[in-house]
Amino acid sequence: KIEGIIFDLDGVIVDTAVYHFRAWKKLADEMGFSFTEDDNERLKGVSRMESLRILLEIGNKEVSEEEKKMLAEKKNKIYVESISGMGKEEILPGVMNFIQELKEEKIPFSLGSASKNAPLILKNIGLYHSFDAVVDGNDVAKAKPAPQVFLLGAEKLQVNPEGCIVFEDAQSGIEAAKAAGMFAVAVGEQAKLKGADYYITSMEHLTLADLKKAAVH
Ligand code: BG6
Ligand code: MG
């Protein structure tokens, strides 16, 4: 039985990857190394500081802790500015219909995001109050692939982890969902995402009936 649903934000509800990419690329440009969209795949679902660590690894740069803090703040400033104009129109296709179905069937749902900017984005797209719970990068000490962000979501929804279905577009998120004992739905290219229980290319055309069928197996 489906007891609760947990959605990742970036790449599932909205497509913010490109904004994250542009902000990191600006830093890379300034430090004088190249950073491609392919490189950016490695940052999906990964916390801000871990993303920075990977970026610096790609650029072969060693910097002090203090400088790391500064760089992360700089990236975030660029990112926040780029999402400030975001609105409802950026909600990905299929999301609103699916949420509507969940509401009709009274299945509770929460957000499980690594982003500290998740509340801001949800407010910008007008969905903050639709969620029964919001768990984001501000609430957990251990980022994905640790299961904490999803376990806390289940707890807030007052449901069992085994009864939860997680929607994720990132490898780290799928691993986190599986570590939490949940059913993992990968959203995106199957070849890039390993270990999920069910695969969809996007939220578009997804129905609760399909999901129920998939999740009983
Ligand atoms: C995740 C994104 O949702 O949030 C990552 O997929 C991002 O790319 C992470 O690094 C942390 O985001 P923020 O907004 O806290 O810097
Ligand atoms: Mg994501």
210 is catalytic: no
pLDDT digits (tens, 9 = 90+) for 23-63: 999 999 999 999 999 999 899 999 999 999 999 999 999 99
Q: What share of the chain is helix, strand, coil (3-state, %, to 5)?
A: 50, 10, 40
Alpha carbon 187 to chain centroid distance?
A: 11
Q: Does ligand 1 come within 6 angstroms of the Cβ of 172? A: no
pLDDT tier, 205 (very low <50, low <70, confident <90, very high otherwise): confident
Separation of alpha carbons 154 and 148, rounded Å = 10
Q: Does ligand 1 come within 6 angstroms of the Cβ of 44? A: yes
Neighbour count for residue 57 (Cβ, 10 Å): 11
pLDDT tier, 217 (very low <50, low <70, confident <90, very high otherwise): low
Which entry of 10, 29, 39, 210 is annotated as an active-site residue? 10
End-to-end Cα separation, the chain, in angstroms: 11
